[in-house]
Amino acid sequence: MKLNRLLPRLVHGIALSSFFTISASEAIQLKPEDSQIVNVGKGSLGVGSKDTNPNLAYWTSEDSWASWTFVAPEAGLYEVWSEVSSTAPHSGFFLNYNDEKVKVDVKGTGSYDKYINKKFATIALKKGRNSLTLNPHRDQWQALNIRALQVKKIANLPIETSRETISSNHSPDYILRSSKPANWTWGPFKKEELKDHWRDAYPIGSGRLGGMVYGDVNEARFMLQDARHWFNHASSSTMPDLSGLLQQVRDLQKQGKYADANVLYRNAFKGKNYRANIGSPLSIGDLVIRSNAKNISQYQRTLDLKKSETHTAWSNEGVDYTRKAFISRIGDSKDVLFVQLNAKQAKALDISVHLGLHNPDKARGSRPKAFRPSVNVDFAGHIQYKALNPNTTSALKDFGAVARVISHDGELKEEIDHVKIKGASQILIAVKTFNSADADEAIDRITRELYKLKGTYQTYLNPHVKAHQGLFNAASVDLKASKDDRALSNEELIAKARKLDLENAFVERLWAMGRYLSIVGSRKGGHPVHLTGLWNGDYNPTWAIHLMNINMPMIHWHLMDGNLSELMLPFFDMFDRQLPASRENARKLYGLDGIYINPLLGNNEDGLLKVISPHLIHMMGNNAWVAQHYWDYYTFTLDKKFLAERAVPLMEEAATFYEGFLIENEDGFYDITPSNSPENSPLNAEGHRLIPNRHIDTHINATWEYAAIREMFTNLIEASNTLAINQSKIADWKEVIAKLRPYEINAEGGVREWLVDGFYDNPAHRHLTHMYPIMPGYEINMEESDPKLFNAFVQTSHNRLNAGLEFQSAWSLLHNTNILARGGEAQKAYQTLKWLAASSVLENLLTTHNDWRESGFTMNQAPIFQIESNMGWVSAVQEMIFTSRPGVLKLLPALPREWPEGEILGMQGRGAVNIRKMSWSKNGTIVSADLQTKHAQKLTVVLPKNIKSLEINGKKQKPSGKSFSIDLASEKVYSVKIQL
Q: What is the pLDDT of residue 192?
A: 55
Separation of alpha carbons 142 and 59, rounded Å: 8
For 792-815, what is the mean pLDDT? 96
680 C-beta neighbours (distance < 10 Å), count: 25
Q: What is the pLDDT of residue 128?
A: 86
Q: Does the residue 788 lie in any domain?
A: no
pLDDT-based confidence at residue 158 (cuts at 50, 70, 90): low
In terms of domains, do 40 and 183 share one? no
pTM to 2 decimals?
0.89
More confident residue, 565 or 89: 565
Q: What is the pLDDT of residue 92?
A: 78
Decide if pLDDT at 262 tops 90: yes
The pLDDT tens digits of the residues spanning 291-347 come to: 999 999 999 999 999 999 999 999 999 999 999 999 999 999 999 999 999 999 999
Burial of 728 (0-12, 13-18, 19+ CB in 10 A): exposed
Q: Does the residue 54 lie in any domain?
A: yes
Q: What is the pLDDT of residue 110?
A: 83
Q: What is the pLDDT of residue 140?
A: 44
Burial of 660 (0-12, 13-18, 19+ CB in 10 A): middle
**Is 144 in contact with 59 (CB distance < 8 Å)?**
yes
In terms of domains, do 122 and 190 share one? no
Q: What is the pLDDT of residue 51?
A: 64
Backbone torsion region of residue 500, taken as left when φ is above 0, otherwise alpha when ψ lies between -120 and 50, otherwise beta: left
Backbone torsion region of residue 335, taken as left when φ is above 0, otherwise alpha when ψ lies between -120 and 50, otherwise beta: left
pLDDT-based confidence at residue 10 (cuts at 50, 70, 90): very low
Decide if pLDDT at 888 tops 80: yes
Decide if pLDDT at 138 tops 80: no
For 850-877, what is the mean pLDDT? 89
Q: What is the pLDDT of residue 908?
A: 98
Separation of alpha carbons 114 and 289, rounded Å: 51
Q: Does the residue 125 lie in any domain?
A: yes
The enclosing domain of 968 has a CATH number of 2.60.40.1180
> DSSP secondary structure string, 378-445?
-TTSEEEEEEE-TT-SSS--EEEEEEEEE-SSSEEEE-SSEEEEEEESEEEEEEEEEEEE-HHHHHHH
Q: Is the dihedral of CA 361, 365, 370, 375 positive or negative?
A: negative
Decide if pLDDT at 456 tops 70: yes
Q: How far apart are the first and last CA of the chain?
A: 71
More confident residue, 441 or 378: 441
pLDDT-based confidence at residue 116 (cuts at 50, 70, 90): confident
Q: What own/partner pairs with CB < 8 Å and gap ≥ 24 does 197-201 have?
A: 198/223, 198/359, 198/363, 198/535, 198/537, 199/537, 199/842, 199/844, 199/846, 199/863, 199/865, 200/842, 200/843, 200/844, 201/535, 201/537, 201/844
Strand positions, DSSP E, 250-393: 280-281, 285-290, 296-304, 309-316, 319-327, 336-343, 349-356, 374-377, 382-388
pLDDT-based confidence at residue 191 (cuts at 50, 70, 90): low
- Which positions ≥6 away from 670 have C-beta within 8 Å? 662, 663, 664, 736, 739, 740, 741
Decide if pLDDT at 871 tops 50: yes
**Is 724 in contact with 653 (CB distance < 8 Å)?**
no
**Is 31 in contact with 148 (CB distance < 8 Å)?**
yes
Share of the chain above pLDDT 90, in %: 71
- DSSP class of residue 232 equals P
The pLDDT tens digits of the residues spanning 739-751 come to: 999 999 999 999 9
Q: What is the pLDDT of residue 142?
A: 58
Q: What is the pLDDT of residue 3?
A: 27
Peptide bond into 172 cis (omega under 30): yes
Separation of alpha carbons 615 and 605, rounded Å: 19
Range with lowest mean pLDDT among 55-59, 542-546, 754-758, 885-889? 55-59
Q: Where are the alpha helices (DSSP H) in 498-638?
A: 504-521, 551-561, 569-577, 579-590, 614-617, 622-637
Q: What is the pLDDT of residue 163?
A: 45
pLDDT-based confidence at residue 108 (cuts at 50, 70, 90): confident
The enclosing domain of 59 has a CATH number of 2.60.120.260
Q: Does the residue 568 lie in any domain?
A: no
Peptide bond into 776 cis (omega under 30): yes
In terms of domains, do 98 and 202 share one? no
Separation of alpha carbons 169 and 478, rounded Å: 12
The torsion defined by the Cα of 612, 617, 619 and 621, in degrees rounded to 10, comes to 140
For 362-382, what is the mean pLDDT? 83
- Which positions ≥6 away from 470 have C-beta within 8 Å? none
Q: Tell me the average pLDDT of the chain.
A: 90
In terms of domains, do 300 and 447 share one? yes
For 456-470, what is the mean pLDDT? 94
In terms of domains, do 114 and 194 share one? no
Q: Tell me which H or E stretch contains 525.
A: none
Q: What is the pLDDT of residue 5?
A: 25
The pLDDT tens digits of the residues spanning 589-640 come to: 999 999 999 999 988 888 999 899 999 999 999 999 999 999 999 999 999 9
How do beta strands 888-891 and 149-153 pair? unpaired
Share of the chain above pLDDT 70, in %: 92
In terms of domains, do 130 and 194 share one? no
pLDDT-based confidence at residue 189 (cuts at 50, 70, 90): low
Burial of 973 (0-12, 13-18, 19+ CB in 10 A): middle
Decide if pLDDT at 277 tops 60: yes
900 C-beta neighbours (distance < 10 Å), count: 16
Range of the domain at 450: 176-231+282-473
In terms of domains, do 367 and 430 share one? yes
Q: Tell me which H or E stretch contains 742.
A: none
Q: Does the residue 566 lie in any domain?
A: no
For 755-772, what is the mean pLDDT? 97
Separation of alpha carbons 567 and 522, rounded Å: 7
Q: Which of 90, 79, 42, 89 is nearest to 64 (CA)?
A: 42
Q: How many CA atoms lie within 13 A of 531 on its CB side?
A: 22
In terms of domains, do 306 and 397 share one? yes
pLDDT-based confidence at residue 155 (cuts at 50, 70, 90): low
Domains: count for the chain:
3
Decide if pLDDT at 459 tops 60: yes
In terms of domains, do 212 and 116 share one? no
pLDDT-based confidence at residue 430 (cuts at 50, 70, 90): very high
169 C-beta neighbours (distance < 10 Å), count: 5
In terms of domains, do 297 and 206 share one? yes
> DSSP secondary structure string, 765-812?
SS--GGGTTTTT--SS-TTTS-HHHHHHHHHHHHHHHHT-GGG--HHH
Separation of alpha carbons 402 and 397, rounded Å: 17
**Is 669 in contact with 740 (CB distance < 8 Å)?**
yes
Decide if pLDDT at 444 tops 80: yes
Q: Which of 424, 351, 425, 342 is nearest to 383 (CA)?
A: 351
The residue out of 432, 452, 473 marking a domain boundary is: 473
Range with lowest mean pLDDT among 255-259, 445-449, 924-928? 445-449
Q: Which of 825, 822, 828, 809 is nearest to 775 (CA)?
A: 822
The enclosing domain of 430 has a CATH number of 2.70.98.50
Q: Which of 313, 312, 283 is nearest to 212 (CA)?
A: 283
Backbone torsion region of residue 887, taken as left when φ is above 0, otherwise alpha when ψ lies between -120 and 50, otherwise beta: left
Decide if pLDDT at 814 tops 90: yes
In terms of domains, do 79 and 211 share one? no
Q: What is the pLDDT of residue 165?
A: 47
For 432-461, what is the mean pLDDT? 92
How do beta strands 175-178 and 149-153 pair? unpaired
Q: What is the pLDDT of residue 96?
A: 86
The three-state secondary structure class of 573 is: helix
782 C-beta neighbours (distance < 10 Å), count: 18
Q: What is the pLDDT of residue 147?
A: 86
Q: How many residues does the chain have?
A: 980
Q: What is the pLDDT of residue 199?
A: 85
The residue out of 473, 508, 527 marking a domain boundary is: 473
**Is 208 in contact with 584 (CB distance < 8 Å)?**
no
Range with lowest mean pLDDT among 154-168, 213-227, 299-313? 154-168
In terms of domains, do 346 and 227 share one? yes
Decide if pLDDT at 35 tops 50: yes
Separation of alpha carbons 62 and 134, rounded Å: 10
The pLDDT tens digits of the residues spanning 225-253 come to: 999 999 887 778 889 999 999 999 999 99
Q: Does the residue 772 lie in any domain?
A: no
**Is 877 in contact with 888 (CB distance < 8 Å)?**
no
Q: What is the pLDDT of residue 605?
A: 81
For 474-496, what is the mean pLDDT? 96
Decide if pLDDT at 122 tops 50: yes
785 C-beta neighbours (distance < 10 Å), count: 18
Decide if pLDDT at 130 tops 70: yes
pLDDT-based confidence at residue 677 (cuts at 50, 70, 90): very high
Q: Does the residue 633 lie in any domain?
A: no
The pLDDT tens digits of the residues spanning 415-425 come to: 999 999 999 99
Q: Which of 722, 720, 723, 770 is nearest to 745 (CA)?
A: 770
Q: Which of 743, 527, 611 is nearest to 619 (CA)?
A: 611
The pLDDT tens digits of the residues spanning 383-409 come to: 999 999 988 777 889 999 999 999 888
The residue out of 421, 438, 473 marking a domain boundary is: 473
More confident residue, 440 or 109: 440
Backbone torsion region of residue 788, taken as left when φ is above 0, otherwise alpha when ψ lies between -120 and 50, otherwise beta: alpha
Q: What is the pLDDT of residue 684?
A: 96
The three-state secondary structure class of 974 is: strand
Q: What is the pLDDT of residue 190?
A: 53
Range with lowest mean pLDDT among 361-375, 632-646, 779-793, 829-843? 361-375
Q: Does the residue 719 lie in any domain?
A: no
CA angle 920, 926, 927 (to 5 degrees): 55
